[in-house]
Amino acid sequence: MEKTIFEKIIDREISATIAHEDDRCIALHDINPQAPVHLLVVPKDRIARLAEADDAAAPLLGHLLVVARRLAAELSLDQGYRIVINNGPDGGESVPHLHVHLLGGRRMAWPPG
């Protein structure tokens, strides 16, 4: 299976602006930000999309959300932020590697799009 752009970043084959890294995930700045703060929290173990995650992935999925919360606090997103996970083409998925978008720094509209 061909590596995704995220796997290439994790393997340091492509550079990125990294905001956080630990043994389970990496968080990086989106190259096409949709808000003043737009980070992607990406698991190092590839899961194509949320719909393909099994119950054993629950600790990793929880970790991604905890990391997003910590980053939001570090970035002083005290007025709020949005967490987004795109799943499948109709959900806006563009890379077949699960990732959590952390968006903030501006008021978010509803519905989102």
Are 51 and 87 contacting, i.e. CB atoms less than 8 angstroms apart? yes
If 0-12 CB within 10 Å is exposed, 13-18 middle and 19+ buried, where does residue 75 land?
middle
- Show the domain range for 78: 5-104
The answer to the question of residue 72 being in a domain is yes
The answer to the question of residue 109 being in a domain is no
**Chain-centre distance for alpha carbon 93:** 12
The enclosing domain of 61 has a CATH number of 3.30.428.10
Q: What is the pTM of this model?
A: 0.95
Question: Active-site positions?
Answer: 99
The answer to the question of residue 53 being in a domain is yes
Mean pLDDT by 10 residues, the chain (113 residues): 94 97 98 97 97 97 98 97 96 96 96 79
The answer to the question of residue 86 being in a domain is yes
Are 85 and 19 contacting, i.e. CB atoms less than 8 angstroms apart? no
How many structural domains comprise the chain? 1
The answer to the question of residue 88 being in a domain is yes
